[in-house]
Amino acid sequence: MAYDDSNIFARILRGEIPCDKVFEDDHVLAFRDINPQAPVHVLVIPKGPYRSWTEFSATASDGEIAALVRAVGKVAADLGVVEQGYRVLSNIGADGGQEVPHLHLHLFGGRRLGRMIAAD
Ligand code: 5GP
């Protein structure tokens, strides 16, 4: 299946839709989730057209992969959640519950986050 460049994050990357940006470099954009599930809820995305971790891990350059990983660490530090702790999560595909078909890492923090996944 080809990358769908009409997805909402592709539109944010092209500047067609605004976002509350917290970090950007050559390979990565990070912005606050429009429907936050925690006091800190940021989406960290690669700028390249990757749908999933599967594609990203197999085909992205080392520079893109390093940039995404480093961006998560920098955003966590910049937003002040390192000391109390935080959670990084990526929903992949149907069973993972992925809604937007552009790879994104959720970074949650600012409160006790509870169970890792729902019990059922
Ligand atoms: P997923 O379920 O695919 O892992 O997560 C998609 C996330 O994107 C959801 O948490 C949702 O609130 C967020 N989202 C959807 N549309 C927009 C938007 O237009 N702007 C922002 N900032 N977040 C969005």
Active site residues: 104
For residue 63, the CA-to-ligand 1 centroid distance in Å is: 25
Q: Does pLDDT of 116 surpass 90?
A: no
- pTM (2 d.p.): 0.97
- The string of pLDDT tens digits covering residues 51-107 is 999 999 999 999 999 999 999 999 999 999 999 999 999 999 999 999 999 999 999
Question: For residue 19, which atom of ligand 1 is closest to its CA?
Answer: 22
Structure tokens at 55: 């594609």
Q: Where are the alpha helices (DSSP H) in the chain?
A: 8-13, 53-59, 62-78, 93-96
- 46 by Cβ neighbours in 10 Å (0-12 / 13-18 / 19+) ranks as buried
- The string of pLDDT tens digits covering residues 5-62 is 999 999 999 999 999 999 999 999 999 999 999 999 999 999 999 999 999 999 999 9
- 18 touches ligand 1 (CB under 6 Å): no
Q: Rounded distance, CA 100 to CA 83, Å? A: 30
**Per-residue pLDDT, 120:** 65
